[in-house]
Amino acid sequence: MNRELLTVVVAARDEAEALPLLHRRVAGVLDGLVADGVDGRVLYIDDGSRDGTWEVMRGLASGDRRVALLRLSRNFGKEAALTAGLDHVEAGAAIILDADGQDPPELIPQFVAKWREGYDDVHGMREQRDGEGWLKRATAHAFYRVMQRLSKTPIPTDTGDFRLLSPRALAALRQLRERHRFMKGLFGWIGYNRVAIPYRREARLAGSSKFSLWKLWNFALEGITSFSTAPLRLATYVGLGAALVAFVYAVWIVSKALFFGDRVAGWPTMMTVILFLGGVQLVALGMIGEYLGRLYEESKQRPLYLVDDWRPAPTGVSSLPS
């Protein structure tokens, strides 16, 4: 049988407690896959942790020859950390997993089976979310629906970063070097054969979520501005609508003055109109600003991340796991 290579890519920030628990599960699953002709590797990325996550990772690497480690020079955020990880996958397919055990590694064989059927992008679809409050669930639900409406790129609903990418999907993703990385959108953009695997999103093994509601809101803005210019168009239509109403109103005011004379009244209406138009203009300016700011960031062409330490797995690419 053809042997295939699969790297489990895990970005972690302050996950010292969860990582050993996760690694035990991942290692068990990879052991099981060897008989299926799949050589597993694990790549842990330390995204600027402050709680000894790096030491924990080094411990895991010294106990398991399949483990590669990557440490970024500071916290770059999950999306950049994942990009760094995927850039360092030398060969074969990659599967992305959260470090906190919310994406169950036990499903990896199912993902691999789909990959072997010829799918390039096998993504987990959250059917149920355990241990997350109603507000997070409701906002996440709304976000995916709004995104779907606004964006021309297909972005599957309720899909996180839990996914397997075939070598060619991985190569495609590597070509997308934009700084504002809305990964869900990027995955959608590359296309190829895609299939969803429904799963139950479990509660965290340990520690707490790194994404507050405010961060999630910014994340949503990121998604919308990276994959849609609908807000700019909306500003155009609001402007057109306001101009139309203003025109009708002007005709009315002028004819009233012509027929009945003008006794300089209407201060309340004037204030209302001025304030309303001022507000609309500021909102539209803000929208333009969002896009302009991103253009500015993009134009600087800085690298997406900096590597502090890179330790490839001792087993390398071609040999079998010990």
Among 6, 8, 9, 11, binds ligand UDP (CB under 6 A): 11
Q: Minimal CA–CA distance to 5: which of 295, 259, 264, 315?
A: 315
Q: Does 77 bind ligand UDP (CB under 6 A)?
A: yes
- Asked if 103 is part of the footprint of ligand UDP (rule: CB under 6 A), the reply reads no
- Shortest distance, CB of residue 64 to Mg ion, whole angstroms? 23
Q: How far is CA 72 from the centre of its chain?
A: 18
Footprint (CB under 5 A) of Mg ion, residues 128-167? none
Distance in Å, CB of 208 to Mg ion, minimum: 9
Choice between 11 and 38, CB closer to ligand UDP: 11
Tell me whether strands 38-46 and 93-98 are parallel, antiparallel or unpaired. Answer: unpaired
CA distances, 202 to each of 29, 33, 125, 144, 174 (Å)? 17, 23, 12, 20, 30
Nearest CA to 108 out of 100, 97, 120, 92 is that of 97
Residue 65 interaction partner, one of ligand UDP, Mg ion, none, beta carbon < 5-8 Å per kind: none
Told to check if 225 binds Mg ion by CB under 5 A, we report no
φ, ψ for residue 116, nearest 5 deg: -70, -25
x/- map, 262-291, ligand UDP, by CB under 6 A: ------------------------------
104 contacts ligand UDP (rule: CB under 6 A): no
Helix (H), strand (E) counts: the chain? 10, 8
> What residues have CB less than 8 Å from 143, skipping those under 6 apart?
220, 223
* x/- map, 220-249, ligand UDP, by CB under 6 A: ------------------------------
Binder to ligand UDP among 71, 78, 114, 194 (CB under 6 A)?
78
Name the E strands within the chain. Answer: 4-12, 38-46, 67-72, 93-98, 121-129, 159-165, 194-201, 307-311
Q: Give 81 or 150: the residue with its C-beta nearer to ligand UDP.
A: 81
Contact residues for ligand UDP, defined by CB under 6 A: 11-13, 15, 47, 75, 77-78, 81, 98-100, 102, 209-211
